[in-house]
Chain A
Amino acid sequence: MLKVLKSGFFTTVQDSGRFGFLNKGVPVSGYMDSFSASKLNMLLANPTDAAVMEITMTGPTLQFEKPTYICIGGAEISVTLNNEPLRHYKVYKIGEGGILSYGRLKKGFRNYLAIKGGFKTPLVLGSRSFYPPITPKSHLTDGDKMAYDSCENFKPNISEIKVAPFLDEKVLKVYKGPEFELLGDKQLKSLFVKEFSIAKEYNRMAYQIEENLLGHKNSMLTSATMPGTVQITPSGKLLILMKDGQTTGGYPRILQLSDQAISLLSQKRYGDVISFKMALRHNLV
């Protein structure tokens, strides 16, 4: 078992997502920054859907009751294992009773802690990702215990990788959304020339943008939305849906973020600056 001594600001368990229930209104959920989280699972030779811990802003203090291997990455946070500082994207062994302690956030917003074999919180509709009320908990609290398989001997193929720094980037690569053509010249110009900032309302469901575009009077019938869908409200407010975002919506979907852009935006917080740039479809695999 892993014991949550202190839970931190908003710590959850997330895997690659909950699939197969979009037509019943269930969001995909899963780790927000899949770019960082999937690298950690790779280092630990985990299955791609192994559950990791998503640590938001202020991290937890955790005690491991059985030996295992771990790896951290994503937002830059100082983390210690038994008071020794850890490097990001490096595999470490944790002995029985080891204490992992999160310190100060330096850059980015969401850090990931991966464990050999993944965290074994209950599977609900095929996924371990927290999403209330589908899962009983919305986030970890002090004193929680979580199951994992102990591991004594693991020899990683690669024990450490260098990840190109991306936390300072601010350009979100986007594709045209289904209602892109509704945008007028002025809206288009603002959208691709101006810089925007993250509003106070931002979470795993959606990020709101502080600066509005010109409003509009277009109406549409409710239709599907996805993580990364950028909607425009009648007043011109931009809403970017994220992993826990609703599966349908009635506002025009003007842009769709690339997977990379969803990961990048996940690392942004209130006041951070972003801009939009059209991605070339054929360049992306």
Chain B
Amino acid sequence: MSGVGNYSISIRSFGVHAVLVEWPKEVCGAILNDILQFVNYLENNCLDGAKYEIVPSYNSITLVHRGKPIVFEEFKTKLNTWYEERNATPTKQKFLWRLPVCYDLEFGIDLEEVSEKLGMSVTKVIESHTHNVFTVYGIGFLPGFMYLGGLPTSLEVPRRSTPRLKVQKGAVGLAAKQTGIYPQESPGGWNIIGNCPIPMFDPKSNNPCFVSVGDQVQFYQIERAPYDLCKIEGEVGIYKPEKIKLDA
């Protein structure tokens, strides 16, 4: 893990209500960790949480201010100072979430095609997909949609040339360097290899998406019967996803 404030950050205005802070353009755990430490420091010591929202993603954070425009030069100076002065701030508690996926061909509608393209048996694709631990580098595109990093190159398969108009809620997909879960029915161009029965976004909860940027995700294979059970438990809100505390 890197030390504190080791990166050269760039601070730019993003309209009058927001400021963008960028780290070097790399997908890397150390940078993400540095970003999340800074976010935690800002939230706890510097910014009024009721007025600011912070959106972390890969190598950047965007600070959005509700209400009056930000006085940019002044705010930039403060941000630089805050970045310098923060000590070894911890990040928030991170978790490894273990999420069930049913890879039956009924759900994994592209699984056979993917296995052919990768020159790997279906069993091996599933094994490799469940063996890996992924890092959540961002949440966006749709409510509760995770950008997961850490896909092995052996699973890299290009997105479909023609996107589907409808991809099922819970569909688990592969596209280039990414894998992820569609949190709701939506159009989409990823190759669908399975389905996760756990709702990734629950608007009735105060914490509508249990995963946060910086958390980790590992999938495990389930059969159809437990899938149906998880699905019902998820719908009525009693399913508790399995989580493991990670060291900061």
Residues of A within 8 A of B (CB): 19-27, 124-125, 133-135, 175-178, 220-224, 226, 228-229, 246-249, 253, 256-259, 281, 284-285
Contacts and interface: CB of A to CB of B under 8 A. Distances in A.
Contact of A133 (B64, B137, B145, B184): B184
B197 interface: no
Contact of B27 (A135, A221, A246, A256): A221
Given A133-B184, A223-B20, A21 B143 contact: yes
Given A177-B14, A246-B141, A24 B184 contact: no
B69 interface: yes
B60 A19 contact: no
B184 A23 contact: no
Of the listed residues A27, A124, A175, A221, the one surrounded by the most CB atoms of chain B closer than 10 A to its CB is: A221
27 contacts: A24-B209, A25-B143, A25-B145, A25-B183, A25-B201, A124-B203, A125-B203, A134-B203, A135-B203, A177-B14, A178-B14, A221-B25, A221-B27, A221-B60, A222-B138, A223-B20, A223-B57, A223-B59, A224-B20, A224-B62, A226-B18, A229-B15, A246-B140, A246-B142, A249-B141, A257-B15, A284-B69
Among A24, A125, A221, A257, the one with the most B-chain Cβ atoms within 10 Å of its Cβ is: A24
A223 B16 contact: no
A224 B58 contact: no
B170 to A, nearest CB: 13
Interface residues of B, number: 44
Per DSSP, chain A at the interface is loop
Given A175-B13, A220-B25, A23 B144 contact: no
A226 B57 contact: no
Interface in B55-72: 55-60, 62, 64, 66, 68-69, 72
B64 A226 contact: yes
Interface in B11-70: 12-18, 20, 22, 25, 27, 53-60, 62, 64, 66, 68-69
Contact of B58 (A135, A221, A247): A221
B150 to A, nearest CB: 15
Interface of B: 12-18, 20, 22, 25, 27, 53-60, 62, 64, 66, 68-69, 72, 137-145, 147, 183-184, 201, 203-204, 208-209, 212-213
Given A224-B20, A224-B55, A224-B62, A23 B139 contact: yes
Q: Is the interface of B mostly helix, strand, loop or mixed?
A: loop
Nearest to B51: A19
Contact of B208 (A22, A24, A226, A281): A24
Given A24-B208, A25-B209, A133-B203, A222 B58 contact: yes
B60 A224 contact: yes
B203 A25 contact: no
- For the complex of A and B, list the 8 residue pairs with the smallest distance between their C-beta atoms, beginning with the closest: A248-B140, A256-B15, A224-B62, A221-B58, A224-B55, A24-B209, A134-B203, A25-B143
A23 B54 contact: yes
Contact of B53 (A22, A27, A256): A22
A248 B141 contact: yes
B81 to A, nearest CB: 22
A178 B138 contact: no
B15 A226 contact: yes
Nearest to B26: A221
Contacts of B212: 23
B16 A258 contact: yes
Given A25-B209, A133-B203, A223-B20, A228 B15 contact: yes
B140 A224 contact: yes
A220 B20 CA distance: 14
A145 B62 CA distance: 39
A26 B183 CA distance: 12
B69 A285 contact: yes
Contacts of A259: 16
Contact of B140 (A124, A177, A222): A222
Given A24-B144, A178-B20, A248-B140, 20 more contacts: A21-B208, A23-B54, A25-B209, A27-B143, A133-B203, A222-B57, A223-B20, A223-B60, A224-B18, A224-B62, A226-B14, A226-B62, A246-B140, A246-B141, A247-B141, A248-B57, A248-B139, A258-B15, A258-B16, A259-B16
A45 to B, nearest CB: 20
Contacts of B20: 178, 223-224
Nearest to B211: A24
Contacts of B137: 222
B239 to A, nearest CB: 18
A19 B201 contact: no
Contact of B144 (A25, A249, A285): A25
